[in-house]
Amino acid sequence: MSLDILIATAGVFVGELYGNLIGGGSLVTQIALQNILHFDIKTAMALDNSAVIGSNIGMLIVLLRHHVVEWWFAVVIVFQIIGAILGAWILITIDPNILKVLFILAMIGLVTKNIFVKDSVQDSSGFKVSYRNISLLALAALFIGMYNAAFVIGDWIIALLILTSFFSIKYHNAIFLLTFSMFFSQPVALYKYHAAGLIDWSFLLPMMTATIVGGVISALVLNRIHSKKLESFLKYLSIVLVVYLIFGLLG
């Protein structure tokens, strides 16, 4: 059992760093949980989603020194919590075979994005605070919270794209908003997972500790690393990881 916990902890830690470089860190974590440790897909996804609470804690420790919490964050948090409740319900109740199909499609979409879509940081004028924009942002937060709690692949990337592309929120401000709001919404999803019997705390606590460390490292170091060769290698490695995961799901 101790070796299994070590594998799960190492998987989520490496996945956290991998995901902050190119996105899709759950590919690594899910290989550790599903393919190596043979967790069922619902338990693996619930553990993965819950473990990254630690990452949010780690990143907030760093980011709160450089960012300001706005009053309208409260609206985002409330709707994201509602979305998290809906998303957790989806993960708990959905047919496992349908979940596998959706999981495979999400992985294919993630790899397509990593290989063919060039990353760019939005140079925008910033979010314009108005009742209309806050209302639309609340709906977006509902979707972000639901997708985050229901699935694990590409949730961070999708959320960032929504905030930067549709609401013109500057990239680093979007990261802070997501980190801050998920700090409140993800524990709600964790409670729902736990109530449904999907959480093994002997695994989750070490995994969460690892992601706290990973979150601090990500906030301090990884955004300063700029290596095209490394990013290119990891992007093509994601193809291998996806193929391996798919064979594990279908096997």
Residue range(s) defining the domain that contains residue 63? 2-250
By the 10 Å C-beta count (0-12 exposed, 13-18 middle, 19+ buried), 197 is classed as: exposed
Q: Which residue ranges of the chain lie beneath pLDDT 70? A: 1, 21-23, 114, 116-125, 221-236, 251
- Angle 94-208-141 from CA coordinates, rounded to 5°: 55
DSSP code of residue 128:
-
Q: Measuring CA to CA, which residue among 146, 180, 177 is closest to residue 160?
A: 177
**Number of structural domains, the chain?**
1
- Dihedral angle sign, alpha carbons of residues 118, 121, 124, 127: positive
pLDDT at 223: 54
pLDDT tens-digit map of 130-177: 889 999 999 999 999 999 999 878 788 888 888 988 888 888 888 899
CA distance 157 to 10: 22
